[in-house]
C-alpha cells in the first residue's frame, strides 16, 4: 500500500514537472527526475512531523480555559423590521 502511494505521488510530480517544463521549453528528463525525488523526500518529512504533532497534542494537558464574554449592547435595535 505504501509503495502504491509513493509511486502515485512520484508519478504525479513527474507529470506535473514535465508539463510545466515543456510549456517553458526547458524539459530535461534527468532534472525532472531529481526534482521529483526531492519532492518525494520533502513529502516524506511530513510523516514524522504530523505524527509527533498529533502525539504532542493528544498527550499534553489543555492549558487554555475559555471564559464566555458577556456582551452589553447599547440598547439600540438594529433590525429593519416595519413596526
Residue 4 has pLDDT above 70, yes or no: yes
Q: What is the pTM of this model?
A: 0.58
pLDDT of residue 55: 93
User: For 25-82, how does the pLDDT look when each residue is reduced to its tens digit (9 = 90+)?
Assistant: 888 888 889 999 999 999 889 999 999 999 998 998 777 788 888 777 666 666 666 6
For residue range 11-29, list pLDDT tens digits in order. Answer: 999 999 999 888 888 888 8
List C-alpha distances in Å: 24 to 34, 46, 53, 63, 81: 18, 30, 39, 52, 59
> What pLDDT does 70 receive?
78
Contact present, 17 and 32 (Cβ < 8 Å): yes
Amino acid at each position: 500500500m505504501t509503495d502504491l502511494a509513493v509511486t502515485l505521488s512520484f508519478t504525479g510530480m513527474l507529470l506535473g514537472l514535465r508539463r510545466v517544463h515543456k510549456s517553458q521549453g526547458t524539459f530535461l528528463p534527468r532534472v525532472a527526475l531529481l526534482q521529483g525525488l526531492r519532492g518525494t523526500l520533502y513529502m516524506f518529512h511530513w510523516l514524522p512531523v504530523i505524527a509527533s504533532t498529533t502525539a504532542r497534542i493528544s498527550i499534553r494537558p489543555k492549558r487554555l480555559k475559555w471564559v464566555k464574554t458577556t456582551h452589553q449592547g447599547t440598547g439600540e435595535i438594529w433590525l429593519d423590521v416595519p413596526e
